[in-house]
């Protein structure tokens, strides 16, 4: 049975229809679509066309391309064809359309091409009548290979793939280039300063570690300027240590609360600091001894205390105890959101999301507490500078 495709003008208005081979022999402008699939790592899926195809057999191209049929909705046609060729079901979005003309052997491709993108992380089930093989490829590697081996790729793919990669929707879909980001931020700001000069100091004295622990509580819903005032009050009163906090609360909890009043929510924070200091002294005797406990147990211990959630616990673990856990806060969330890394990800501050984002950073970075400290601090510095 002969396949008929839709003939159009330069505005994609239907002019009629024609048998597929006849249309390509005469180079008639016709309607087509091309689908580009990316995974969560920002890699593009390539399809190697079946060698039995009537043209461009054995060449590499985008995940799927074809011609919609007359009288059918384009949105239905693209989904149907992608499933027929690659066994893939996913959401697709049209990003642009363009006209191209290219000689392919004895035929002429002259198409008004509608270009769609989609995200898929599974394994396709390819139709061997349509595709010989498939693979994921990094966009930078792809650009280099097309440049070195242009004959491996279809004519239309070489014309359009760079336009696809230049689209903002695609750029923002790539994974966070965290190593590159760190280098750029370090070049821009240098070693973290201000509050971070102490928090990122290596090594720290025992008293400095205790100050970071206290600061991790005081920074909750507070700007650092006010936290600095509270820290200064504690130092003046001789209470800027774990033992000092405990003794000051026992002696006069109201007076202790007033010392940290500049940080806001001071009565709650005073209670949190007392509970934390009592716990550390009773179970570990000192922050230095805490360092000897395993990471998982330490984190569970901290999270069991009133007023300590994942962000505060991980700040203590990373900055006071030099443990390689990446801290997720509003600035790291904003970074992920601005890159549109996972569009389906809700930005609600829930535990599931916290663990997901933490895993994302830790999987894409070398496991080094020094790198984690500096990068997290620089992300905040950069976020506040905007």
Angle at Cα 122 formed by Cα 120 and Cα 124, nearest 5°? 95
pLDDT tier, 162 (very low <50, low <70, confident <90, very high otherwise): confident
Residue 347 pLDDT more than 60? no
Q: Specify whether 90 is catalytic.
A: no
Residue 38 pLDDT more than 80? yes
Residue 7 pLDDT more than 70? yes
**Please, what are the domains in the chain?**
4-171 (3.90.79.10), 178-385 (1.10.340.30)
Residue 313 pLDDT more than 50? yes
Instruction: Answer yes or no: are the C-beta atoms of 302 and 325 closer than 8 Å.
Output: no
Percent above pLDDT 70 for the chain? 94
pLDDT tier, 176 (very low <50, low <70, confident <90, very high otherwise): low
- The H or E element containing residue 107 is strand 107-119
Q: Specify whether 65 is catalytic.
A: yes
Residue 381 pLDDT more than 50? yes
The per-residue pLDDT for 337 is 72
The per-residue pLDDT for 356 is 82
d(C-alpha 380, C-alpha 198), whole Å = 15
Between residues 311 and 384, which one has the greater pLDDT?
311
pLDDT tier, 273 (very low <50, low <70, confident <90, very high otherwise): very high
What's the chain's average pLDDT? 91
pLDDT tier, 365 (very low <50, low <70, confident <90, very high otherwise): confident
Q: DSSP secondary-structure letter at 176?
A: P
Percent above pLDDT 90 for the chain? 74
pLDDT tier, 54 (very low <50, low <70, confident <90, very high otherwise): confident
Whether pTM > 0.75 for this model: the answer is no
d(C-alpha 170, C-alpha 117), whole Å = 8
Residue 295 pLDDT more than 70? yes
Q: Which of 64, 65, 200, 240 is catalytic?
A: 65
The per-residue pLDDT for 1 is 61
The per-residue pLDDT for 348 is 43
Between residues 281 and 347, which one has the greater pLDDT?
281
The per-residue pLDDT for 287 is 95
d(C-alpha 319, C-alpha 321), whole Å = 6
Instruction: Answer yes or no: are the C-beta atoms of 237 and 248 closer than 8 Å.
Output: yes
Residue 340 pLDDT more than 60? no
Q: Which of 43, 85, 109, 111 is catalytic?
A: 111
Look up residue 284 and give its two tokens: 């570990």
- How far apart, in Å, do the first and last CA atoms of the chain sit? 62
Per DSSP, helices labelled H in the chain are: 20-26, 74-86, 139-148, 155-166, 168-171, 178-189, 195-199, 206-218, 224-236, 242-251, 253-259, 266-283, 287-290, 295-303, 310-315, 330-338, 351-363, 369-385
């Amino acid at each position: 049975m002969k396949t008929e495709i839709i003939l159009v003008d330069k505005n994609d208005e239907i002019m009629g229809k024609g048998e597929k081979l006849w249309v390509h022999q005469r180079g008639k402008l016709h309607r087509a679509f091309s689908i580009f699939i990316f995974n969560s790592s920002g890699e593009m899926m390539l399809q190697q066309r079946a060698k039995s195809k009537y043209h461009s057999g054995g060449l590499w191209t985008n995940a799927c391309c074809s011609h919609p049929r007359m009288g059918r909705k384009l949105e239905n046609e693209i989904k149907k064809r992608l499933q027929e060729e690659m066994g893939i079901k996913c959401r697709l979005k049209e990003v642009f359309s363009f006209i191209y003309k290219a000689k392919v052997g004895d035929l002429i491709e002259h198409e008004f091409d509608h270009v769609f993108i989609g995200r898929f992380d599974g394994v396709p089930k390819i139709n061997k009548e349509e595709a010989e093989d498939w693979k994921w490829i990094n966009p930078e590697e792809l650009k280099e290979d097309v440049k070195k081996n242009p004959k491996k790729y279809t004519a239309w793919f070489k014309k359009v793939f760079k336009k696809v990669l230049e689209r903002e929707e695609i750029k923002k879909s790539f994974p966070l280039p965290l190593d590159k980001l760190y280098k750029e931020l370090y070049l821009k700001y240098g070693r973290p300063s201000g509050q971070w000069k102490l928090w990122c100091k290596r090594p720290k004295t025992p008293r400095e570690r205790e100050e970071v622990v206290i600061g991790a509580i005081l920074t909750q819903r507070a700007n650092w300027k006010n936290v600095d005032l509270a820290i200064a009050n504690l130092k003046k009163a001789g209470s800027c240590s774990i033992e000092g906090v405990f003794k000051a609360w026992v002696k006069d909890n109201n007076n202790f609360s007033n010392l940290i009043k500049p940080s806001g929510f001071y009565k709650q924070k005073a209670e949190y600091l007392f509970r934390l200091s009592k716990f550390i002294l009773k179970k570990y005797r000192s922050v230095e001894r805490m360092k000897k406990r395993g990471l998982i147990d330490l984190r569970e211990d901290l999270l069991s205390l009133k007023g300590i959630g994942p962000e505060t616990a991980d700040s203590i673990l990373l900055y006071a105890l030099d443990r390689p856990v990446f801290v997720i806060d509003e600035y790291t969330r904003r970074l992920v959101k601005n890159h549109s890394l996972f569009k389906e990800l809700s930005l609600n501050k829930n535990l599931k999301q916290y663990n997901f984002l933490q895993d994302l950073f830790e999987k894409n970075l070398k496991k080094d507490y020094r790198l984690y400290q500096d990068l997290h601090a620089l992300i905040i510095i950069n976020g506040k500078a905007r």
